[in-house]
Structure 1
Amino acid sequence: MTVTPDSGHLDRVGYLFGHPIAHSMSPLLHQTVYEGLGLKWAQLPLDSTDMDHFLKLIQDPKFYGASVTMPHKVAILKHLDSLTDEGRDVGACNTIFTRLDPTTNKRQYIGTNTDVVGIRDAFYENISDADACFHGRPAMVVGGGGAARSAVYALTKWMKATKIYLVNRDRSEVDAVIKECTQRGFGGELIDVASVAQAEKLEGPGAVVSCVPNFPPRTDAEKEARGVLECLLAKQHKGAVLEMCYHPSPWTEIAELSKKAGWKVILGTEAMIWQGLEQDKFWTGKKAHDLPVERVHEVIASRLDESRI
């Protein structure tokens, strides 16, 4: 049975809807923003797979929006009144916000995807010269899940990647990424880099997004994929690597390999923070510079330090 968090003490209420969500720092991030703005708001965790219950909760007049995570990012789409371009293009929603319909004056529930913005802003907020670092160069995505699709979107739409190398242990997952991204109109030139021999012939990338868990390669396919990654990191041009994995620690094997190879490493918490701040822009109506950005970074870093003790 789903336990409904108490919201009686709040002026406005939001939810983090997903399962499992015990390790999520989303409520902490947003609480830091609301405290900084002097708002009596909160994002309450709703660890649940009960879609009907969630849909009832968001009818509350105090509801301002929700973060939607797995396994609901696709399932929620049919329950929304409309989608932003990002939500529609990616085909997954991680954010719900509300607006009043000017004709009917009824509240509309709108879905968007800020994961893609988080990836984009993690680079642009940490790289001073994007032209020298990654604009107009190939990019590389390691992995084959939802985060890999978001990375392809950001690299193609905003980050001026000329082509994207896909590196993964599972060829069928790569095929699925290529097929889906192409069907959705942001495939660009996607190249399945399946071997070190193939990687040796390629131009070096500028932006790299790693979307795989932090574990050492064990199978032959995993070792080949790691070899491809190391080969491309060893190319002459050194750009920036966004390591999306940050739990339980943001410093991973791939982060260490990248640093030793001379690359700038951007921690995955950066993508998480910037996608969350993008959510709060929708929910509060504030611009990014009006949000307590520095304080959010401090609080998230502190929480990570606590988790390592």
Structure 2
Amino acid sequence: MSDDLPPAQIHHAPLAGVIGMPITHSRSPRLHGYWLDRYGLAGHYVPIPVMPEHLAEVLRNMPRMGFVGANVTIPHKEAVLTLADTVTDRAALIGAANTLIFRPDGKIHADNTDGYGFIANLRQNAPDWQPDRGPAAVIGAGGAARAVVASLLDSGVRELRITNRTRLRAEQIKAEFGARLVVYDWAQVGNMLDGAATVVNATSLGMQGKQPLRVPMDALSPDALVTDLVYTPLMTPFLTEAQARGCRIVDGLGMLLHQAAPGFERWFGHRPEVDDDTRRIALE
């Protein structure tokens, strides 16, 4: 019967997914699937393993297959910028995209919501956080760190200290983001925390299977807010020590959840709530 319907009357549930390699570790399918069920929305969200040499071809074909968008993870977050038709200012500034929207004409729009997710996580879990209360200190200079730096500066941080094991990468971020940044040698990371009001681990150190993040925290003020982008485990040794020193801490899971919300809204038409149930589903 449906074969006799004119094309305008055939409606397909929107498709979205996450592109990466490897992709089996991603929590995004579980998260978006939960939101689709929770709000009774038509749609599907699937993991899509893609080798770098196939990325351009896959992106060209996804809109034709009914996809309305996709999240992008390692190792494709930089490469998609060169393949997109339009790129938001923040994605261009960060140098990476994590959210794609496929327009009806097949054009690809690239955005980066990592910085939004980072700030939304802080504001949800430390509502009295004031970005201009003192310097921010960011450990790391990779793609995630760039998103954090951009969002902290945008939020009103007046001085941002940054360090990285390879100092050149931190210097490159300073060159791009400007005079509010102060670069510290990796050996001075303990000094960087002195007087800092907001402290961020934006490296993968401390993640399960990785080396721990070894930072002398003697100079850390108990008034500081300390957060870690790592969320496996939720309580990293870095957060555990900060908490023992009296600091407020915010784990990294909320950033993952909040960065997913804008894309979900664009693809499926409903802004999802990030609450305790959402956290529980993401951790299962």
Q: TM-score, normalised by structure 2?
A: 0.84
Match of 2:173 in 1: 180
Structure-2 change in CA distance of 1:51 and 1:261 (3 Å): same
Equivalent-residue separation in structure 2 for 1:25 and 1:197 (angstroms): 32
C-alpha distance in 1 between matches for 2:190 and 2:200: 19
Question: Which position in structure 1 is the counterpart of 2:248?
Answer: 264
Report the equivalent of 1:279.
263
Instruction: Count the aligned residue pairs.
Output: 267
Match 2:77 to one of 52, 73, 77: 73
- Deviation of 1:137 after TM superposition, in Å, equals 1.0
Separation of aligned partners in 1, 2:33 and 2:179: 37
Matches within 5 A, 1:5-16: 11-16=13-18
Unaligned 5+ segments in structure 2 are: 1-11
Q: Which residue in the other structure is 1:231 paired with?
A: 218
Which is further off, 238-247 or 277-286?
Answer: 277-286
Identity %: 24
Between 1:187-196 and 1:45-54, the stretch displaced more is: 187-196
Pairing 1:208–2:199 present? yes
One-letter amino acid of the counterpart of residue 124, structure 1: R
Name the CA distance, whole Å, in 1 between partners of 2:179 and 2:68: 34
Aligned equivalents of 2:245 and 2:154: distance in 1? 28
Aligned counterpart, 1:113: 112
1:216-258: CA deviation from partner (whole Å, max 9, x where unpaired): 55xxxx75xx12xx1342x3x52221211112x2111101111
Is 2:100–2:109's contact at 8 Å kept on the other side of the alignment?
Answer: yes
Instruction: Specify the alignment match of 2:229 in structure 1.
Output: 244
CA distance in 2, matches of 1:197, 1:97: 39
Residue 292 to residue 157, structure 1, CA distance change in 2 (3 Å): closer
Q: Look up the SS of the partner of 2:79 in the other structure.
A: coil
How far apart are the structure 2 equivalents of 1:35 and 1:45? 17
1:88-167 equivalent positions in 2, closer than 5 A: 88-100=92-104, 106-131=105-130, 134-158=131-155, 160-167=156-163
User: Structure 1 residues 78, 273: CA separation in 2 closer, same or farther (over 3 Å shift)?
Assistant: same
Q: Please give the secondary structure, in 2, of the residue aligned with 1:250.
A: coil
The root-mean-square deviation of aligned C-alpha atoms, in Å, is 2.5
Residue number in structure 2 paired with 1:58: 62
SS in 1 for 2:132: coil
1:191 aligns with 2:183: yes
Residue 125 of structure 1 aligns to a residue whose secondary structure is helix
1:82 aligns to what?
A: 86
- Deviation string, structure 1 residues 123-174 (Cα, Å, up to 9, x no partner): 111112123xx4231001112322121211111112x222122234x2xx23
Shift in CA distance, 150/231, structure 1 to aligned 2, threshold 3 Å: farther
TM-score with structure 1 length normalisation? Answer: 0.78
Q: Distance in 1 between matches of 2:189 and 2:140?
A: 19
Specify whether residues 34 and 146 from structure 1 end up closer, same or farther in structure 2 by C-alpha distance, changes over 3 A only.
same
How many angstroms apart in 2 are the aligned matches of 1:282 and 1:84?
15
